[in-house]
Structure 1
Amino acid sequence: MIKTLFCGWLFCFLTLGNVSALEFYTEDFPPYNYMEGKELKGIGPNIIRELSKEVGEEPKITVLPWARAYKYAQEIPEVGIFSIVRTPKREDVFHWVGPLYTVRIGLYAEKANKHLYQGTNEENLDQARKVGNIAVQLGGAGEELLTTLRFQNLNKIVNVNKAMFLLLKGRYDLLETSDAYMSYMAKEEGISVDVVSEIALIGQYDMYLAFSKSTPLEVVQKWQDALDRLRQRQSVGNPS
């Protein structure tokens, strides 16, 4: 009897010991996900923390350069990545939970060059195809979106935190990014956001938490259900 109980307890212990917590990857890209000292802050982590409480799990979050985080999220079983744009090319690569929030993505020029872009949005996009280089995040959604729009003058960068500074220094002709990023970085640099101008809109896109394809669908659904509950409570608490 005692031997049977001991074996049963040992089996449970070993089983539980082999259960690994979920791991999520994200990037240092303010104001969405960024490190401030040793603390991960931003819109994305705040939502993920709320979701974690709702789900009853606390995933390990690792901050990596985007290209590496994206690679790991495809190759490592049962992991998640946020905040990620759900593009046609990525649709079948992941399981999706969201949307978490929406971003506005455009092409930005130094204010002194704004006069070069005085046409319609399509005309300004066409003008942008002719410049020397447009900075885009390596492996980011902007690279895919602009390639789809027939852009061939893309300068793929890793360190997005210096992108606005380098745009103002003339290293890039244009920068693909979001209005929220521009506002945040202008504040960080202690300059007016008016020193740059959006010369063309690429679009507005929903951001998601994505799980690797090996993740069980019941896990994905659990996180989606948690998000739906949070949204429902927010809707009830903030009637229009």
Structure 2
Amino acid sequence: MFGKLRLAALILVPFWAVLPETARADHDDLKAPGAIADALSITLLTEEYPPFNYTENGQILGAGGEVVRAMAAHLGYHKPIQSLPWKRVILRLESDPDVAAFSMTRTSQREDLYQWVGPIVEIEAGIYEFADHPDPVRSLDDIRNVPAIGVQAGGADEIALRQYGMVNLEPLHNPEVGLQMLAAGRIDLLVSSDIELHRQLADTGIASSLIRRVYSFGSSGLYLAFSRDTDQRVVTIWQSALDAVVASGQFARIMAQYGAVSDQTTPFSGSLAPGQ
């Protein structure tokens, strides 16, 4: 976790100080008491989706959860973060004013529905199989023809893969068991990311050398999404808080802590899906 002194140092830096010089003149009104009060009154929502966001001992943890908490500490935000089922999170985000939710994939379908701050998590996503699979995947046709691909139920990956004509999907309502299902032969391939696999490998004791990424979606990000009618000044204030967390090196430390990697190799890659 992060020391109190480090968080205190972040808080002492005014959030507008991280704005580029050319942007500060355009955002002088961000320092107005009303804008600051509005930013601190936002309701933050998330879901239980380890390792990106989850509750432990009453605190929101996870790669996205810790970044958002660092942003909140930088701003002096003290309201509790609410964890709800994802469908309720989306309902609140689309119906209530001044709500923000994480960790969300920014897709073309969602782009105009919300306002965006991020990325709060950076991931390398792809499709994985066991390295000793008797019939290894070598092409997109192989992926289309395996009996079952495990993918988060209702997530952006499932939606995008179905749009690409994939009919061999096995929706996982509990993605945390994806690696166990792959090991047991209940699915042939698993859609996942470096951060998700890092946790599942640790939980199951399966060696990382036994898992092979056969297809890469490339790098992508997860975001803090704000309700569409949120004051643009509020969104800018939260983005500047993230910029400060990144500039301090804290963002990189959180990503490393949760297993983000950038040196994976893969037989082939493309853009079948946008991420979680």
* TM-score, length basis structure 1: 0.78
2:84 aligns with one of 38, 44, 64: 64
CA contact (8 A) 1:101 1:207 kept: yes
Instruction: Indicate yes or no: 2:128 matched with 1:108.
Output: yes
Q: Following the alignment from structure 2 to structure 1, what is the Cα–Cα distance between the partners of residues 153 and 46?
A: 14
SS at match of 2:142: helix
TM-superposed CA distance for 1:24, in Å, is 1.9
Q: Provide structure 2 residue ranges, at least 5 long, that are not aligned to the other structure.
A: 1-39, 251-276
What's the counterpart of residue 49 of structure 2?
Answer: 29
Q: 5+ unaligned residues in a row in structure 1: which ranges? A: 1-19, 236-240
| Counterpart Cα distance in 2 of 1:27 and 1:54 | 22
Out of 100, 103, 107, which is 1:80 matched to? 100
SS at match of 2:45: strand
Identity %: 33
The answer to whether the aligner puts 1:205 opposite 2:220 as a matched pair is yes
1:82-132: CA deviations, max 9, x gaps?
111211111111100012231011111233327422x3xxx2x33111122
Matches within 5 A, 1:191-202: 191-202=206-217
User: What is the CA-CA distance between 1:233 and the residue it aligns to?
Assistant: 4.2
1:153-192 alignment, distance < 5 Å: 153-192=168-207
Letter in structure 2 aligned against 1:45: G
Segment of structure 1 superposing worse, 143-152 or 170-179: 143-152
Q: Is the 8 A contact 1:99 1:208 kept in 2?
A: yes
The 8 Å contact of residues 153 and 171 in structure 2, kept in 1 or not, is answered as yes
Residue in 2 aligned with 1:5? none
Please name the residue that 1:11 is paired with: none
Larger radius of gyration: 1
> What is the aligned partner in structure 2 of residue 130 from structure 1?
145
Pair 175,75 (structure 1): closer, same or farther in 2 beyond 3 Å: farther
**Equivalent residue, structure 2, for 1:3:** none
Q: Counterparts of 2:181 and 2:229 in 1: how far apart (Å)?
A: 40
Q: CA deviation at 1:170?
A: 1.7
Paired residue total: 212
For 1:4, the equivalent position in structure 2 comes to none
In the TM superposition, structure 1's runs of 4+ consecutive aligned residues that sit over 4 Å from their partners are none
Tell me which residue corresponds to 1:97. Answer: 117
1:137 deviates by 1.2
- CA separation of 1:26 and 1:204: change in aligned 2, threshold 3 A: same
- Distance in 2 (alpha carbons) for counterparts of 1:66 and 1:32: 13
